Amino acid sequence: MFSVTILGCNSAIPAHGRNPTSQVLQTQDNSFLIDCGEGTQMQLSKFKIKPSKISHIFISHLHGDHYFGLIGLLSSMSLMNRIQDIHIYGPPLLKEIILLQCKASNSDFSFDVHFHELKENAVIAETNKMLISCFKVEHQIECWGFLFKEKKNPRSIVAEKVKSFEIPASFYEQLQKGDDYITKKGTIIRNEDVTIANEIAKSYAYCADTIYDESLIPIVKEVDLLYHETTYLKDQEAKAAARFHSTTTQAAQIAKQAKVKKLMIGHYSSKYESLDSFLIEAKEIFENTELGTEGTCYYV
Amino acid sequence: MFSVTILGCNSAIPAHGRNPTSQVLQTQDNSFLIDCGEGTQMQLSKFKIKPSKISHIFISHLHGDHYFGLIGLLSSMSLMNRIQDIHIYGPPLLKEIILLQCKASNSDFSFDVHFHELKENAVIAETNKMLISCFKVEHQIECWGFLFKEKKNPRSIVAEKVKSFEIPASFYEQLQKGDDYITKKGTIIRNEDVTIANEIAKSYAYCADTIYDESLIPIVKEVDLLYHETTYLKDQEAKAAARFHSTTTQAAQIAKQAKVKKLMIGHYSSKYESLDSFLIEAKEIFENTELGTEGTCYYV
Q: How far is B38 from chain A (nearest CA, A)?
A: 7
Q: Do B72 and A38 touch (CB under 8 A)?
A: yes
Nearest CA in chain A to B100: A97
User: What is the spatial distance between Cα A39 and Cα B76, in angstroms, rounded to a whole number?
Assistant: 14
User: What is the spatial distance between Cα B7 and Cα A294, in angstroms, rounded to a whole number?
Assistant: 23
Least confident of A19-28, A53-62, A145-154, B231-240: A145-154
Q: What does the pLDDT look like over A255-300, one tens digit per residue?
A: 999 999 999 999 999 999 999 999 999 999 999 999 999 999 999 9
Identify the burial level of B106 via C-beta atoms within 10 angstroms of its C-beta, where 0-12 means exposed, 13-18 middle and 19 or more buried: exposed
Confidence band for B249, pLDDT divided at 50, 70 and 90: very high
Q: Is the pLDDT of residue A197 over 90?
A: no
Nearest residue to A180 via CA among A166, A190, A192, A170: A190
Q: Which one of A41, A65, A66, A75 would you mutate to disrupt binding with B, by most B Cβ within 10 Å of its Cβ?
A: A75
Which DSSP letter does residue B253 get? H
The closest CB to that of B97, out of A93, A100, A141, belongs to A100
The closest CB to that of B38, out of A13, A39, A80, belongs to A39
Q: Do B141 and A105 touch (CB under 8 A)?
A: yes
The closest CB to that of A62, out of B12, B63, B105, belongs to B105
Residue count of chain A: 300
Q: Structural domains in chain B?
A: 3-152+199-299 (3.60.15.10), 155-196 (no CATH)
Nearest residue to B116 via CA among B147, B92, B136, B83: B92
What residues of chain B have any CB closer than 8 angstroms to a CB in chain A? 12-15, 19, 38-39, 41-42, 45, 62-65, 68-69, 71-72, 75-76, 79-80, 91, 93-94, 96-97, 100-101, 103-106, 140-141
Amino acid (1-letter code) at residue A213: D
Task: Compute the radius of gyration of chain A from its Cα atoms.
Answer: 22
pLDDT at A200: 83
B262-B265-B269 Cα angle (round to 5)? 175
Three-state DSSP class for residue B233: coil
Q: Between these two residues, B198 and B75, which has the higher pLDDT value?
A: B75
Confidence band for B158, pLDDT divided at 50, 70 and 90: very high
Q: Which residues of B touch A93 (CB under 8 A)?
A: 100, 103-104
Q: How far is A287 from chain B (nearest CA, A)?
A: 34
Q: How far is A195 from chain B (nearest CA, A)?
A: 49
- Per DSSP, helices labelled H in B31-129 are 40-46, 70-79, 93-104
Nearest CA in chain A to B92: A104
Active-site residue, B112 included: no
pTM of the predicted model as reported, rounded to 2 decimal places: 0.90
The closest CB to that of A41, out of B14, B62, B71, belongs to B14
User: What is the spatial distance between Cα B85 and Cα B111, in angstroms, rounded to a whole number?
Assistant: 6
Residue A119 CB coordination number (10 Å): 12
Q: Do A93 and B71 touch (CB under 8 A)?
A: no
User: What is the spatial distance between Cα B91 and Cα A103, in angstroms, rounded to a whole number?
Assistant: 13
Q: What does the pLDDT look like over B96-146, one tens digit per residue?
A: 999 999 999 999 999 999 999 999 999 999 998 899 999 999 999 999 999
The closest CB to that of B38, out of A38, A64, A65, belongs to A38
Q: Which stretches of A95-142 are assigned E, i.e. beta strand?
A: 113-117, 122-126, 130-137
Q: Is the pLDDT of residue B1 over 90?
A: no
Q: Is the pLDDT of residue B269 over 90?
A: yes
Q: Is the pLDDT of residue A128 over 90?
A: no
Confidence band for A22, pLDDT divided at 50, 70 and 90: very high
pLDDT at A199: 81
Nearest residue to B77 via CA among B113, B28, B29, B114: B113
Residue A77 CB coordination number (10 Å): 22
Q: Which residues of B touch A50 (CB under 8 A)?
A: none
Amino acid (1-letter code) at residue A74: L
Contact A141, B105 (CB under 8 A): yes
- Residue B164 makes CB contacts below 8 A (sequence gap 6+) with none
Q: Which one of A105, A109, A118, A270 would you mutate to disrupt binding with B, by most B Cβ within 10 Å of its Cβ?
A: A105
Catalytic residue among A35, A65, A209, A224: A65
Three-state DSSP class for residue B179: coil
Nearest residue to B210 via CA among B247, B164, B166: B247
Q: Is the pLDDT of residue A152 over 90?
A: no
Q: What does the pLDDT look like over B8-64, one tens digit per residue?
A: 999 999 999 999 999 999 998 999 999 999 999 999 999 999 999 999 999 999 999
pLDDT at B177: 86
- Residue A263 makes CB contacts below 8 A (sequence gap 6+) with A225, A226, A228, A251, A252, A255, A282, A286, A288, A289, A290
CB pairs under 8 A between A and B: 92
